[in-house]
Amino acid sequence: MIFCSYCGNEKADWMRSCCGENHFEESEDCPECGSGETIYAHGFTTSGVETSYVACSKCNHQWGHQ
């Protein structure tokens, strides 16, 4: 699966860019369950720190917080 690392939208065949730029990346496999159904997400931790991370659509495991 190829998706936008900025907004998380999956790339359609006709798309050349998303969000005004080319943020498309190949999805990672979940280290917990091995699923390829992962998304890039953006949010805030419980202490209010802004973070971007990868999350699994199947088991909801999250990793790669930046």
pLDDT digits (tens, 9 = 90+) for 9-23: 776 667 666 776 666
Task: Tell which residue, 41, 46, 47, 43, has the closest CA to residue 60.
Answer: 41
pLDDT value of position 39: 81
Per-residue pLDDT of 22-66, as tens digits, reads 666 666 788 899 888 888 788 887 888 888 888 888 898 888 777
Q: Specify the CATH number of the domain 2-63.
A: 2.20.25
Domain ranges of the chain: 2-63
- Smallest Cα–Cα separation from 10: which of 36, 43, 39, 48? 39
Which residues fall within 8 angstroms of residue 60, CB to CB, at 6 or more apart? none
What pLDDT, on a 0 to 100 scale, did the predictor assign at position 1? 63
